[in-house]
A and B are shown apart, each in its own frame.
Chain A
Amino acid sequence: ELKVEQNPLFLSMQEGKNYTIYCNYSTTSDRLYWYRQDPGKSLESLFVLLSNGAVKQEGRLMASLDTKARLSTLHITAAVHDLSATYFCAGRGGADGLTFGKGTHLIIQP
């Protein structure tokens, strides 16, 4: 059974700083997904990482995947307040559906 662990679970940071969220998974997952959730809202897909070494960037967010280490990272560059949200990583364990990490609640303060 696939297990997905994120850390940290809570992160408070200042605008302009850089930080990384880590996502480890327990067994082979051929793909890794990152989602964003704003309070009271739905989950929005940010990145889909399909292969070892994949790197994707969108604005101040960059995601990478290392399948050998079973690790994905979400890097935030020069954080701005609008990036405050809960970020989830998820993997596919073979059966349908995604297994999600517990989420990282990110607060970016001015």
Chain B
Amino acid sequence: DTAVSQTPKYLVTQMGNDKSIKCEQNLGHDTMYWYKQDSKKFLKIMFSYNNKELIINETVPNRFSPKSPDKAHLNLHINSLELGDSAVYFCASSRRGGQGNIGELFFGEGSRLTVL
């Protein structure tokens, strides 16, 4: 029973297209995230989101937008894809950090996006 699941696992598309990656967690967590891992394996946070607040990393282009239909889902929509968007995108979830919560992140399997 997968805790954090993402679809699709692989996505190959042309420049200029719009695509979405879906993420679902069944851990009952209240905060979800999107991370980007580039070809050098560097991990950078893109967004964190709970049902009250979206925090955006200021370096993320506004072509990227998170959409959350409910607290168990956080989808990533990307407009006008560019070559530099090719990467592995990881969804993660946690209980919001605070007293009694250790803030540990649980990651999905990743979605490898290739833009041609």
Q: Which residues of A contact B (CB under 8 A)?
A: 31, 33, 37, 41-45, 48, 50, 86, 88, 92, 95-100, 102-103, 105
Contacts and interface: CB of A to CB of B under 8 A. Distances in A.
Nearest to A86: B41
Interface string B80-100: 000000000010000011000
Given A95-B48, A96-B48, A45 B96 contact: no
A92 B97 contact: yes
Interface of B: 31, 33, 40-45, 48, 50, 55, 90, 96-97, 102-110
B39 to A, nearest CB: 12
Contacts of B97: 31, 92, 96
A103 B106 contact: no
A31 to B, nearest CB: 6
A71 B43 CA distance: 20
A48 B104 contact: yes
B109 A97 contact: no
Contact of B102 (A31, A37, A43): A31
B43 A31 contact: no
Given A96-B31, A97-B55, A45 B106 contact: yes
A37 to B, nearest CB: 8
A45 B4 CA distance: 14
A61 to B, nearest CB: 17
Contacts of A31: 97, 102-103
